[in-house]
Amino acid sequence: MKKILLLFLTAIILLVTTACGNNETDNNAENEEKGTITLGQTPWSSTAPPTQIAKQILEEQGYEIEIKKTSQPVIWEGMQSEEIDFFMDAWLPYTEAARWEEFEDDLVKVATSYENAKLGWVVPSYVEEDNVEELLDQVEKYDGQIVTIAEGAGIVTISKELMEGFNFEEAGFDLATSSEGAMISVVEEKISSQEPVVFTAWRPHSIFARHDLKFLEGQEDYFKADNVYVLSYNGIEEKYPEAYDILSNWSIPIDDIEAMILENEENGTSFEELASQWIEENQDQVDEMVEQ
């Protein structure tokens, strides 16, 4: 009797184990079938929050997600070659106009993340100058520098056009390119000493939450408020139809991104954790995205 009972229990264990193994195999096969999606992420602070949110939403739907951190030009080229599937932070129609003209036959706008994202030359509100032209005879006051981010970004290209249009180089100014972090470090040091500084900035950015700043007037012919888009390549809707449908319904307020960036900088909260919190706080919107 004991032998029969032992054989019966062994058979039950084998059945359960086999069933679990089959479920795990089925789940792995499902993930494999959905494939691996690569998201491009620039070093800009504004790119990390939406990228991490998209990653977690798509992972929940069974996709394998990789994030490729690199410069913006490489991301656009990567989308063209289909090595990068989505980019969450494209500024159009103005800031990246030249790049869009080059790639528009190969790329598509998947969704609008947010609208009316302002950018341009910024100064602390405590300086007297309100207009870009007023800087021209203040070279020494501003150390002859317009501080900006790395080459390749649209904000740098437009800054060069503005400098040429107003003859800033003839006046003695240089466009000082660097990383976003290095630029912000210079700005923070100047502001802490109440010194004048002019630099390139955009919303969303945590610096607007930390300091009283003003966009200079007179640059409207160069810097125009953009919409920020999710981009991908032609054919993405056939290659990853579910992911395409989900991200087609994506949007986020600028204020939410700035709050996430500030929390990361001031308290060291990772963007992965902040993305999880955002998803939890906006579950209704996420549900609508995935249930379309």
CATH architecture of 119-215: 3-Layer(aba) Sandwich (3.40)
Q: Is the pLDDT of residue 13 over 80?
A: no
**Percent helix, strand and coil across the chain, each to the nearest 5:** 50, 20, 30
> Cis before residue 253, ω within 30 degrees of 0?
no
Query: Which CATH number does 38-117+226-290 carry?
Result: 3.40.190.10
Q: Is the pLDDT of residue 267 over 70?
A: yes
> Where in the chain are the domains?
38-117+226-290, 119-215
Question: Are 47 and 117 contacting, i.e. CB atoms less than 8 angstroms apart?
Answer: no
The whole-chain average pLDDT of the chain stands at 90
Closest by alpha carbon to 198, among 249, 277, 243, 135? 135
pLDDT given at position 243: 97
Q: Which residue(s) pair with 230 in the sheet?
A: 111
- Mean predicted confidence (pLDDT) in 142-153: 94
pLDDT given at position 15: 43
What span, in angstroms and rounded, lies between the C-alpha atoms of 68 and 77?
13
The pLDDT tens digits of the residues spanning 122-147 come to: 999 999 999 999 999 999 999 999 99
What span, in angstroms and rounded, lies between the C-alpha atoms of 109 and 102?
14
Helix (H) or strand (E) holding 215: strand 213-215
Position 16 confidence tier, pLDDT thresholds 50, 70, 90: very low
Closest by alpha carbon to 120, among 19, 188, 259, 220? 220
The pLDDT tens digits of the residues spanning 225-236 come to: 999 999 999 999
pLDDT given at position 33: 73
Q: Answer left, alpha or beta for residue 252, where phi above 0 means left and psi between -120 and 50 means alpha.
A: beta
Position 152 confidence tier, pLDDT thresholds 50, 70, 90: confident
Of the listed ranges 17-26, 105-114, 221-230, 265-274, the one predicted with least confidence: 17-26
- Mean predicted confidence (pLDDT) in 143-172: 95
Q: Is the pLDDT of residue 19 over 80?
A: no
Cβ neighbours of residue 87 closer than 8 Å, sequence gap 6 or more: 39, 40, 75, 76, 79, 230, 231, 232
Q: Is the pLDDT of residue 23 over 80?
A: no
Alpha helices in 104-177 (DSSP H): 154-166, 168-171
SS3 116: strand
To the question of pTM greater than 0.85 for the whole model, the response is no
